[in-house]
Amino acid sequence: MSAPASIDADLLVHSAQVCTVPPSAAVDPEPSAIRPAGPQRGSQLGDLGIIADGAVAIRDGRIVALGTAGDLRARVSAAAEINAAGKVVTPGLVDPHTHLPWVGDRADEFEMRVAGASYMEIMAAGGGIMSTVRAVRDASTDELVEANLPRLDRLMAHGTTTLEMKTGYGLTTADELKQLEAIHRLDQTHPMDVAATFLGAHAVPAEYQGRTDAYVDLVVEEMLPAAAQWSQRKQRPLFCDVFCEAGVFDVDQSRRILVQARELGFQLKIHADEFEGLGGTALACELGAVSADHLVTTPEEDIAALGRCQTVAVSLPGTPFGLGHTGRAYTPARSIMAAGGALALATDLNPGTCWCESMQFVIALATRYLHLTPAQALAAATLNAACAIGRGDSAGTLAAGRPADLLILNIPDYRHLGYRFGTNLVETVIKAGQVVVGPG
């Protein structure tokens, strides 16, 4: 009997509780079949694929072997080792919905909201999204990049290794393209992996007040073709998103924008049911959107639709928390799971409703207000979150051959995620095989 082949590695992380978060079904219908890179749907959510005393070997930025510490320490010859005994290893967290990049802040509006004004009242009075639009219009691409790099550092220090960013604070063709350019440069400058979304229909800008259809014309006839050309020139695929909400864009206007976007080659997303359930989630399913996001006031029939379509339901519990909403303020996550839907988590990071740079805090909220177990919340913040930005085959799962994006958490058991909040539990962040955040 010959000895098992030895594996060369740059780095071996060993002796941790390793959560691999495998794609798709907890029980393979055919054990021989290769698991498709799909989300964990419905009651399957929460399969962490734990290796109790596990190890991960990394070479050239990718995972080359995964297994028990005993097995890998015998077979792997590594240039460097990290002994993670008593700690937890997970995939890098994925944040599939942020409103980066922006400049400025809205601390004044936060104070008004605390004193009783509602988010939609402030928006109707010309504040809200429009205040950030004014700031972003005044900023250069360089200023946008500069202001947002430190945010990416903080996100990464809290465990996020892949995220989505949107436009939507420009609302003119030139200013939306400027935001896309900033997103592109942030992705090129920072180790974070970035998925980009065009959200020209984030708000009706002041100069189109009372003429929403005319603004939709501008989005459809000018902005979308310009963004599609930019996307081709940069070889960077784009999502198209719409804020489908009472007083913003209704279902018909959202449909017009998304149908045109799909024809131009965009994949689709939607902001639906944040305040009123208009039917945006059913629209997302009908159009084959990759995700439908927010989903607080989602009608029963739209929840049922999520169980029958591929659209990932992205919950953003930091937003109702950030708005101080109580009562039925959070995504009906258990109903979505009962219907067989695929549930993911994201921050919604933005200067208005939710300035939260920590997916760990989102997991803590999801355990309490969405009633997810820590295992369900972790799968929703990794694999399913990756699927919500079409990256289920490259992010959110630890497996041989995949990019080595992983975290070492200074906790003895994954259930401390969510249980503990307000302190950063991430000790080490490894992005594409490189230690980008280390202890101390």
* Site residues, ligand NIG (CB under 6 A): 99, 128-129, 132, 243, 271, 274, 319, 348, 350-353
Nearer to Fe ion, 81 or 105 (CB): 105
**Could you tell me the end-to-end alpha-carbon distance of the chain, in angstroms, rounded to an integer?**
46
Q: How far is the CB of 434 from ligand NIG (least distance, A)?
A: 32
How far apart are the C-alpha atoms of 258 and 416, rounded to whole Å?
A: 40
Nearer to ligand NIG, 199 or 404 (CB): 199
How far apart are the C-alpha atoms of 346 and 317, rounded to whole Å?
A: 8
Span interacting with Fe ion, options 178-186, 305-313, 346-354, 388-396, rule CB under 5 A: 346-354
Residue 243 binds which entry of ligand NIG, Fe ion, none, CB below 5-8 Å type-dependent: ligand NIG
Residue 227 binds which entry of ligand NIG, Fe ion, none, CB below 5-8 Å type-dependent: none
Is residue 164 involved in binding Fe ion (CB under 5 A)?
no
How far apart are the C-alpha atoms of 67 and 73, rounded to whole Å?
A: 10
Nearer to ligand NIG, 347 or 382 (CB): 347
Footprint of Fe ion on 215-244 (CB under 5 A): none
Whose CA is closest to 65, among 398, 391, 386, 397?
398
Beta bridge partners of 56: 13, 66
With CB under 5 A as the rule, give the number of residues binding Fe ion: 1
76-83 vs 193-201, strand pairing mode: unpaired
312 CB-near residues (< 8 Å, 6+ apart) = 39, 96, 290, 291, 292, 342, 343, 344, 384, 387, 388
| CA count, 13 A, side-chain hemisphere, 426 | 25
Q: How far is the CB of 291 from ligand NIG (least distance, A)?
A: 13
Angle at the Cα of 32 (from 28 to 36), degrees rounded to 5?
A: 55
Q: How far is the CB of 406 from ligand NIG (least distance, A)?
A: 29
Nearer to Fe ion, 63 or 270 (CB): 270
Q: How far is the CB of 43 from Fe ion (least distance, A)?
A: 28
- Hey, what are 302's tokens? 């739209």
* Residue tagged 């946008």 (tokens): 144
Q: How far is the CB of 122 from ligand NIG (least distance, A)?
A: 9
* Burial profile 399-417: b = 16 or more Cβ within 10 angstroms, e = fewer: beebbbbbbbbbbeebeeb
Residue 128 binds which entry of ligand NIG, Fe ion, none, CB below 5-8 Å type-dependent: ligand NIG
Q: How far is the CB of 39 from ligand NIG (least distance, A)?
A: 21
Q: How far is the CB of 243 from Fe ion (least distance, A)?
A: 8
The DSSP call for residue 337 is H
Asked if 55 contacts 74 with a C-beta cutoff of 8 angstroms, the reply is no
Nearer to Fe ion, 48 or 323 (CB): 323
Span interacting with Fe ion, options 151-159, 181-189, 347-355, 380-388, rule CB under 5 A: 347-355
Residue 24 binds which entry of ligand NIG, Fe ion, none, CB below 5-8 Å type-dependent: none
Residue 100 binds which entry of Fe ion, ligand NIG, none, CB below 5-8 Å type-dependent: none
**Three-class DSSP category at 348:** coil
How far apart are the C-alpha atoms of 348 and 424, rounded to whole Å?
A: 19
Q: How far is the CB of 322 from ligand NIG (least distance, A)?
A: 8
Q: In this structure, what are the phi and psi dihedrals at residue 59, rounded to the nearest 5 degrees?
A: -140, 135
Nearer to Fe ion, 348 or 427 (CB): 348
Q: How far is the CB of 280 from Fe ion (least distance, A)?
A: 12
Secondary structure element (H or E) that encloses residue 314, with its range: strand 312-315
Residue 179 binds which entry of Fe ion, ligand NIG, none, CB below 5-8 Å type-dependent: none
Asked if 36 contacts 64 with a C-beta cutoff of 8 angstroms, the reply is no
426-431 vs 434-437, strand pairing mode: antiparallel
Nearer to ligand NIG, 51 or 296 (CB): 296
Q: Which residue is nearest to Fe ion (CB)?
A: 348
* Radius of gyration in angstroms for the set of CA atoms belonging to the chain, rounded to a whole number: 21
Nearer to Fe ion, 292 or 379 (CB): 292
Which amino acid is it at 424?
N
Q: How far is the CB of 341 from Fe ion (least distance, A)?
A: 19
Nearer to ligand NIG, 353 or 358 (CB): 353
Is residue 348 involved in binding Fe ion (CB under 5 A)?
yes
Secondary structure element (H or E) that encloses residue 95, with its range: strand 93-95
Nearer to Fe ion, 348 or 405 (CB): 348
Residue 159 binds which entry of Fe ion, ligand NIG, none, CB below 5-8 Å type-dependent: none
Residue 351 binds which entry of Fe ion, ligand NIG, none, CB below 5-8 Å type-dependent: ligand NIG
| Positions in the binding site for Fe ion (CB under 5 A) | 348
